């Protein structure tokens, strides 16, 4: 008995040490990947307008990058299930690196369709960042899953803040290399994504997902049949907790993107200067990432559904503020901060709930489907936001998004009530 206890303690210590190493590697890679993504988002619209010759095409940068992230989600998840997180995440970073190089080529040749292809490839970097948060849960326990995931989400803050500030350094690099000034930032993107691929490839040894799968196989009786592989959507169809988590993530993301994407336009139309617009978006991004470890701690201590509930309440407060005080720059800024905080609380808690709601053999395909649905919801929210702003105004857009959040909030309260009822003994 003592020998078995010693073996269990050593196994737990080994798992703890490996998990800490995995988190360190993911944080480093996420900083690099976030740096590349930040440069893409800040320069993509400008480069699209310059290459196409019309500012009307500038919105295609975010659209194509989002569609690229959606298209890469399931293939990367499938690759992770078959070859592990190390190969999958490194492959996604390599594709994003190629996208950065192709963007430089498209700018140099002034070929707009080629730039659109490059932006789709760059979207794989965003998909890689989303799946990295799930890699943090492969070896985590139920008690630490939310915090592990949230630390990886938080690390995106550094790159997301630094990336948009690479405009002037990018111009200097472009001058040295003899390429168009706006394409210089994509040099940083390509280098950062290549470095992230190297970090994933060298650092994630042993692979966290493959290790978790081996432990799961060892825990089953010898000779037990291996579980049949299923697509993520099929698993979601028969798993209510996982389905609820995915809907919460997608709806929150759609509501956030729809209002956030139109806020600069609204502020500009009401006479706000570029400094006010920039500060508002910066505070919103800080709200999305900076407090994610706090929300991870809340999800672990209070419960994942309670964390989702907190996120929905914050989102609803943000959207109602946008509805009632759209004429005030101060209150619009407050609403954007609350919007980022609500998104963070919901995505961290719901992602942790999703990771724990499925067996480890089903985790990668379900997570890939979740990221696919999340990106498609964001793209749809962004696409509808423009016409919504024209037809309803900023206040109406906030109210429409609040209705969507209200539906998820009601579902969350229902699940929380059912969860509480089953937890209380008869």
Sequence ranges of the domains in the chain: 12-210, 230-426
pLDDT of residue 409: 95
Token representation of residue 416: 């929380």
With CA atoms as reference, report the closest residue to 192 among 258, 277, 93.
93
- CB burial readout 83-120, b (16+ within 10 A) else e: ebbbbbbbbbbbbbbbbbbbbbbbbbeeebebbbbbbb
pLDDT of residue 230: 66
* CATH code matching the domain that covers 230-426, chosen among 3.40.640.10, 3.40.50.970, 1.20.1250.20, 2.60.120.10: 1.20.1250.20
Q: What dotted CATH number matches 12-210?
A: 1.20.1250.20
pLDDT of residue 424: 46
Largest CA distance in the chain: 75
Contact criterion met (CB below 8 Å) for 260 and 339? yes
Quickly count: other Cβ atoms within 10 Å of residue 58's Cβ: 16
> What are the angstrom distances between the C-alpha of 306 and each of 216, 265, 302?
29, 34, 6
Q: Residue 206, preceding bond cis, omega within 30 degrees?
A: yes
* Helix runs in 53-144, H state only: 60-83, 85-109, 112-135
pTM of the model: 0.82
Q: Do domains 12-210 and 230-426 have the same CATH topology?
A: yes
> Would you give per-residue pLDDT tens digits along the chain (426 residues)?
555 565 556 667 777 888 899 999 999 999 888 776 666 665 776 787 788 887 667 667 777 888 899 999 999 999 998 999 999 999 999 999 999 999 999 999 989 999 999 999 998 988 998 899 889 888 888 888 888 889 988 887 777 667 666 767 878 888 888 898 888 888 988 999 999 999 999 999 899 999 888 887 776 665 555 455 567 788 898 899 999 999 999 999 999 988 887 887 778 777 777 677 767 877 887 888 889 999 999 999 999 999 999 999 999 999 999 998 888 888 999 999 999 999 999 999 999 999 889 888 888 889 889 999 998 998 888 888 878 888 888 899 899 999 999 999 999 999 988 765 554 443
Token representation of residue 77: 């998840």
Contact criterion met (CB below 8 Å) for 246 and 354? yes
Beta-carbon-side half-sphere exposure of residue 369 (alpha carbons within 13 Å):
20
């Amino acid at each position: 008995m003592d020998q078995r206890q010693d073996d269990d303690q050593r196994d737990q210590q080994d798992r703890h040490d490996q998990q800490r190493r995995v988190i360190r590697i993911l944080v480093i890679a996420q900083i690099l990947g976030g740096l590349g993504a930040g440069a893409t988002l800040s320069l993509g619209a400008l480069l699209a307008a310059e290459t196409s010759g019309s500012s009307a095409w500038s919105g295609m940068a975010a659209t194509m990058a989002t569609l690229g992230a959606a298209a890469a989600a399931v293939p990367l998840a499938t690759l992770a299930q078959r070859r592990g997180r190390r190969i999958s995440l490194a492959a996604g970073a390599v594709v994003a690196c190629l996208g950065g190089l192709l963007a430089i080529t498209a700018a140099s040749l002034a070929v707009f369709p080629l730039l659109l292809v490059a932006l789709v490839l760059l979207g794989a970097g965003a998909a890689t960042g989303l799946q990295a948060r799930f890699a943090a849960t492969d070896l985590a326990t139920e008690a630490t899953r939310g915090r592990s995931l949230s630390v990886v989400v938080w690390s995106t803050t550094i790159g997301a803040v630094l990336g948009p500030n690479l405009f002037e350094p990018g111009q200097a690099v472009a001058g040295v290399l003899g390429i168009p000034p706006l394409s210089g930032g994509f040099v940083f993107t390509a280098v950062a994504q290549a470095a992230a691929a190297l970090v994933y490839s060298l650092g994630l040894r042993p692979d966290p997902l493959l290790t978790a799968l081996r432990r799961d196989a060892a825990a089953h009786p010898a000779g037990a049949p291996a579980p049949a592989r299923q697509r993520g959507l099929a698993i979601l169809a028969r798993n209510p907790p996982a389905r609820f988590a995915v809907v919460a993530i997608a709806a929150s993301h759609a509501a956030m993107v729809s209002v956030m994407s139109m806020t600069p336009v609204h502020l500009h139309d009401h006479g706000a200067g570029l400094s006010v617009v920039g500060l508002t978006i910066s505070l919103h991004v800080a709200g999305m990432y900076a407090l994610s470890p706090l929300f991870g701690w809340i999800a672990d201590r209070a419960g994942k559904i309670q964390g989702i509930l907190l996120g929905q309440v914050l989102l609803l407060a943000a959207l109602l503020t946008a509805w009632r005080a759209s004429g005030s720059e101060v209150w619009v800024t407050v609403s954007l901060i609350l919007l980022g905080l609500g998104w963070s609380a919901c995505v961290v808690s719901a992602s942790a709930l999703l990771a724990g709601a499925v067996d480890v053999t089903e985790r990668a395909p379900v997570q890939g489907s979740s990221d696919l649905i999340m990106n498609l919801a964001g793209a749809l929210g962004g696409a509808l936001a423009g016409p919504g702003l024209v037809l309803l105004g900023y206040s109406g857009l906030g109210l429409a998004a609040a209705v969507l959040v209200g539906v998820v909030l009601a579902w969350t309260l229902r699940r929380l009530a059912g969860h509480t009822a089953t937890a209380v003994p008869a």
